[in-house]
């Protein structure tokens, strides 16, 4: 009997150790995935910066079309990932498994995506040459920022098919504004608990 108790204790301790190891492996995998996502976003930001510089200095229509296609692809990528995280992960996963490991990181990522969307639409506007009253290379990005924040001063006017794209960007801006505000509000209770250790 003493031998069985001793063996059961060893087995229990081994199982706890295996669970601890599996938990640590999960944390390492999560950290590696987060790092890969960070590198992916940084790579896209560098690509967008390069595309902006190229779009300003190159007036070849084929090159500008290629830049607009890259920007459109990135817009689709940003929108698709935001929808997956905000909507479908909540539907796919059980309630107790759904959650965000680091809400602060999510807010920063969404803010970066908000700026990326302004840059990508600005690049498309720059490459299209369909904005009226543009005086310099920065005007399409100014117009993009004003459109996405739904300010719309009216000093730059879209023409032709770009008008529909402006509506899409305004909807993007509203969607990302709501998502960014929701994520920021979800971070506040965690920040409150860090500042006041006695609270649950």
Q: Alpha-carbon torsion 144, 150, 155, 159, what sign?
A: positive
What local confidence, expressed as pLDDT, does residue 9 receive?
Answer: 43
- Per-residue model confidence as pLDDT tens digits over 50-86: 998 888 888 888 999 999 999 999 999 998 888 877 7
121: its two tokens: 């639409």
Helix (H) or strand (E) holding 181: helix 162-195
14: its two tokens: 């081994």
The per-residue b/e assignment along 153-163, b for 16 or more CB within 10 angstroms, e otherwise, is: eeebebeeebe
Mean pLDDT (the chain, rounded): 80
Chain Cα centroid distance, residue 138: 24
Set out the domains of the chain in order of their start, with CATH numbers: 30-195 (1.10.287.70)
Q: Quick count: other Cβ atoms within 10 Å of Cβ 140? A: 25
pTM of the predicted model as reported, rounded to 2 decimal places: 0.78
- Per-residue model confidence as pLDDT tens digits over 1-42: 444 444 444 444 445 455 656 667 777 777 788 888 888 888
């Amino acid at each position: 009997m003493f031998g069985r108790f001793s063996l059961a204790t060893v087995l229990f301790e081994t199982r706890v150790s295996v669970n601890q190891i599996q938990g640590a492996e999960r944390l390492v995998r999560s950290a590696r995935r987060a790092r890969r996502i960070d590198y992916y976003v940084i790579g896209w930001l560098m690509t967008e910066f390069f595309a902006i510089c190229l779009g300003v200095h190159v007036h070849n229509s084929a090159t500008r079309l290629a830049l607009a296609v890259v920007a459109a692809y990135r817009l689709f990528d940003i929108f698709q990932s935001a929808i997956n995280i905000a909507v479908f992960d909540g539907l796919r996963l059980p309630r107790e498994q759904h959650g965000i490991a680091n809400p602060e990181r999510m807010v920063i990522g969404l803010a970066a995506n908000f700026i990326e969307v302004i840059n990508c639409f600005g690049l498309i506007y720059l490459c299209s040459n369909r904005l009226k009253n543009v005086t310099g290379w920065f005007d399409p990005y100014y117009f993009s920022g004003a459109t996405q924040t739904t300010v719309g001063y009216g000093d730059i006017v879209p023409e032709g098919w770009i008008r529909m794209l402006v509506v899409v960007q305004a909807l993007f801006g509203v969607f990302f504004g709501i998502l960014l505000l929701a994520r920021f509000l979800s971070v506040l209770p965690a920040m409150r608990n860090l500042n006041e250790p006695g609270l649950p």
